[in-house]
Every structure is written in C-alpha cells, then in structure tokens.
Structure 1
C-alpha cells in the first residue's frame, strides 16, 4: 500500500534541481527584511546623528529624536530603493536574452554572489559601529548588480522550463515558485527567533552561510540546461536552441554580447505584442496586479517594526 507513495516520493526527489536554491533564497530574502531596516536605523541614529545608544534603543520615548531619525531614514531609504530597483531591472532586461544564448548557471551564480555581498555587507556594517549609513549604498549596489531576487526567479523558471516536457512544465514551474514563497514565512520565523536569542550578527552570519551553500550547490550539483555548455541529456529533454558553438565562445564575447540594447526593445515587444485570444490582455492584467502588489508593500514596510516586535515578544 505504501509502495506507490514511496515510488512517487522517490520520483519527486529525483526530479529536484533548483528548488533547494529557491527555498534558501525565499527564506533568506524575508529574513533579511527583518534585519536591514533595523541596521539602517541604528546607523543613522548612533553614527550619522550622533545620538546616544540608550536613546536610539528606545526612540518611541523621545519624540524629537524619533522624528529626526525618521526624517533621515526616509531620505536614505528613498535613494537606496532607487539603486535596488533600477539596476536589477536593467540587469534582468539584458540577462534574459543573454541566458537564452549562453545558459542559466552564470546568471544564477551572479545573483547568488550578489546576495553574498549583501549579507556580508550588512554583517560588516553591524560589526563596524563607526561606519556611517552611506556605506550601505555600496552594499545595495553590489546586490543590485546581481539582479536581486527578480533575476533568480526568472533564471530558475527558465532552467525548469528547459529540462521539462511541455506536459509537466506548468506543474514544475508552479511548484518551484511555491517553494520560493514557502521560504518566506520560514525565514521570518527563524530570523525572529535567532535575533531574539543570539542577536543580529548570528542571524546575518547564518544568512551568509546559507547563500554560500546555495552557490556550492549550483556549482557542483546543478548542470547547465541551455546554450553551448548544456548537458546533453538535459538538452534532449528540453528545448535548447543553441545558436553558438562551444568552441566559438570566449569570455570577451560573452561580456560584450551582454550589452546589446536591442534586447531591451525585444523584451518590451515580446510583452506587448498581439497574441491569440485574450492572452495579451491577461498578461497586462498580471503586470498591473504585480505593480499594485509592490505599491502595497510600502505600507507593509511602514508596519515592519511593529511586526518585528510582535514576532520577537
């Protein structure tokens, strides 16, 4: 009676590819949400405004200082969000078409290395109490150069699409995205517990370790699914449209081929071109819903401190 269940479970395990990376990224992404704003606020309060640590630890009891810190934080967050939004957008627009030509592993590794710089940067900023908050601009810039979680999701979905048949593709992609979102509450819960008992340095150190383990997993376990470096067995199962021979690939060519502005035009053309039935309208509605969701996250950020206090206490 258990045999079919065991067989199905064994088959599911054998088909695992990038899902562990997505789970790690989803958990660490939400865990970092608990850390970064508090590190930023502490830097602004203690270093940039030179307010005592005692007052900074209890700003709600000091209205004047609280308003001053919030004002400086709003200015910092505005410029920091520009870096975190614009650069990943440009990266994804160029990298999508580039990965169709050269493969998925390099974009995935670039994103994970960006995450490593991000976690290690915040860890160092938390250690170096004399560093001003502006140092975080560099940390955000390094993270943004890797494309952020947007690039990771698009790359992993493309990878799964490469190795799946058309019949199983929808189920595999949906499951993989669910795994990423499942990591969110796990990361929030674990992050809050670790902060409560061990502090921010331990929490950031564990996030950094998780990202490094994800890089090692991609390097040694994940096989290329597309382009001239693809594994032949994966190519047979996927839809590899190789347009360049492996022997013709050079580092210089891969680098210069990334900066092709025609790809930006093609990306927008693909999104808005006419399609059969109501497909284009459905895509536009999805884009609009995504924009509204991101706008609503602003209010979620405003309530983040109270949510963190609730999680901790």
Structure 2
C-alpha cells in the first residue's frame, strides 16, 4: 500500500496543493477576516509566479528530493529510525513530530542569523496576508531549506511515507495559517491548542519587530508555547494590524522582479538579533 502511495507522489502533492489553495481562496471570499488592501490580481499573479520560479530552480538544482532520499536511506540503513525496530505507526508519528520541530528551529534560525533574515524577509514583505503569502519564498531560501531538509531526513531516516505525509500536511497548513479567513473564536481557540491558526500566525507577520520575531510555528502550535516564542494578541487587534516590512511599503515592491532583487535594496533590519528589536511586550 505504501509503495503505491509513494509512486503517486507528484499527483498527491499537486492535487493537495491545488485543492487547499482553491478551498482557502473560496473561504477568503466568503468569510474574510481583514479587508483586502491590494488587488488579488497583483499579489496572486506575482506570488504564484514566484512559486513557479522556485519549483523550476529546485528541480534543476536537486537530483533527489526528501521522499526519494528517505527511500534511499531505508535501503542503505541510514539514519536513526532505520536502525531500530519500531512499529511503523510509531516511526511515522515520531518522524512527523521531529520534522515539524526541525521546521520550527530552522524558521527561528532564519530570523536570528542576519544573512538568512536577509533572504527570509521577502516572505514578510507582503503587504496583505492571505493563502498565497504562505507560498512566497525567495529561490535561494528555498534551496537552503531543501538542503537542511535533506540533512534532517538523512540523519533521522524517517519512513518515506512519513516524509510525504509531512510535506503534504505542511504545505496545506502553510496556506491555511496564512489565509485571510474568519474562524469563529471558539473554533480558533480549540484548534490553536494543536495547530497554528491564522490568528496566531498573523501576529508573526506584523510590522512590529517584537511580533515578527515570535510565533514561528507553521504546523503544530506547541513549539512556540514550549520554547517561549509565543506572543498572544487580542482578537480586536487583527483587523487593524499592519503587516509587512518597514523598508518595502509600495505596491511596486510586490512585483516578481522586485521580490527577486529585494536583498540588494536596503539593510536587512528587523531580524531577531537586530539591536533595534525590543523585548516582547504584551499587546493590549
């Protein structure tokens, strides 16, 4: 069963991606949380064009991706899980949990290391906040992230099916927690005990540096609470909260060509170790 599942990887990934993107887009139209400030035509066309550029560069740069490496690791006995006789379901669950922790830690690193923040800030420079924001990453950052992911997969030796499930879930939750959707408060509070909700992650896209450098989780919400990087924000603040980066505030900055050269268009201020970033304060 797992072999058939893995052989259909491209179809599974593409179907899940398109299905979640369409679902979030329809939800944003039916029940938006915040008023849209910029035309979807401008933002969606450029954000999705960036996805195409990232995908092409990634496929040309890496002869093997995470699922393929997991299969190879299993065949050659590489990594932690390939050297212990664990029940399959335990290995899958533990692998997905550890992969999610790795994503959290690398996200913290991309905010803390100035050279990496220089790349990652493009993700934060979107002037609106919706599902396509979750897909907006510089190609060089995507290549670094893939390199880190491959190193983690080689070290852990997770089941290939766990890697595929994790990547599908992570891609879906990234679009969900960036979506401009209005979740009923009780639903948001219950979901927030387990996964990152749009209200939680929207704080991370605030123009205020103390909020930008918090709420790093993409999938599970536990890591921010356990490791002290969680910042709460009252519901009434979200509608008026300003998102983006201070240096890039024009609509022209949302175009693909400007996104790709953003790194040479000003200092990379606002990262977690920037001296101007103050200690987190509670939001009223």
| Shared fold per TM-score greater than 0.5 | no
| Larger Rg computed on CA atoms | 1
TM value normalised by structure 2: 0.30
TM value normalised by structure 1: 0.28
Name whichever structure is richer in helix by fraction: 1
